[in-house]
Amino acid sequence: MTIKQILEESILKLKLKKIKNPHLNAEILLSTILKKQREFILSHTEYKLTKLQIKNYQTLINRRINGEPIAYLIGHKEFYGFNFNVNKNVLIPRPETELMVGEALKFTNYNSQPTTLIDIGTGSGCIIITLAKLLNQKPKNQKLIGIDISKKALLVAKQNALAHNVNKKIKFIKGNLLQPIIHNSKFITPNSKILILANLPYVCESWKKNYSVDSIGLKFEPQIALFTGKNGLELYEKLFKQINELQNKNYKFKNNIDIFCEFDPSQTILIKKLIKEYFKNAKLQIKKDLAGYNRLAIIKFQ
């Protein structure tokens, strides 16, 4: 079977199952199997595939038809212009999360004070690794930490840090939200400004049943990285409680913490209320993502 024939066959299959962008899907998966660029596929249409290649390709096409996200099938996803390994133990990085990275870069690059950046629920590590690559402060002035409750997710994050050559710059810790820091504040550089970055699971359980065919891919992602509680803000509330605890424990942390939280646009009113409840004197700013939707809460204490 040639590239041309197998592409025609698989595109037809994908179209029948109403998968969006069937050509692109078929070509990307074939280039993964052949370990060649897409350009090769398009310019070598008469190239003959081996039996094994055909079998492996058909398996991928069938998984795609089943709704499995392409990032899991090819094992990586682009975020902020960098490539990150992903597998079923981590959430696939989303374009809307690039907003958080952009704002964190502004924050750190305008700030000459020593900084501790803590990425809570780091997953693939895409946020903290991108920051480690792009921050222009002197390394001795900054500490970067990634925390996740999942050991398997931390393995992926560590692999990614190594692949991007920033493994020595980031400390990855297993733990429940901010718990490891509360237990051991040696992780924080003394007198540093702390920036907490949280893209926690914020999809509420009740939305699950309303997912359309388009969102079917969510089924394949780690459910603990997506879903939480009745309104989706349960974990943010838990985190805010922990931050209160940290601030009360040590007065130095009172005004020295900034918090960035990603949320769903439909949660705007609720998250504002929650922030007011836990941080009475904080300044709150809501930022919109590139699609124009409220996406990021920035909480500052001075």
Residues that bind ligand GLN (CB under 6 A): 94, 96, 199, 201-203, 226
- Specify the residue, 22 or 69, whose C-beta has the smaller distance to ligand GLN: 69
- Specify the residue, 160 or 199, whose C-beta has the smaller distance to ligand GLN: 199
Amino acid in the structure at residue 9 = E
Q: If you write DSSP's letter for every residue of 187-237 in order, what string do you get?
A: GSPTT-EEEEEE----B-GGGGGG--GGGGGGGGS-GGGTB-TTTS-HHHH
Min CB(174)–ligand GLN separation in Å: 19
Residue 287 forms beta bridges with which residues? Answer: 296
Min CB(172)–ligand GLN separation in Å: 19
- Specify the residue, 202 or 279, whose C-beta has the smaller distance to ligand GLN: 202
- Specify the residue, 147 or 203, whose C-beta has the smaller distance to ligand GLN: 203
CA atoms within 13 A on the CB side of 144: 25
Amino acid in the structure at residue 217 = G
β-pair type (283-288, 82-85): unpaired
- Specify the residue, 66 or 215, whose C-beta has the smaller distance to ligand GLN: 215
Q: Are 268 and 252 in contact (CB under 8 A)?
A: no
Min CB(232)–ligand GLN separation in Å: 8
Between CA 145 and CA 154 the distance in angstroms is: 12
Min CB(163)–ligand GLN separation in Å: 23
- Residue for token digits 């079917």? 216
Min CB(201)–ligand GLN separation in Å: 4
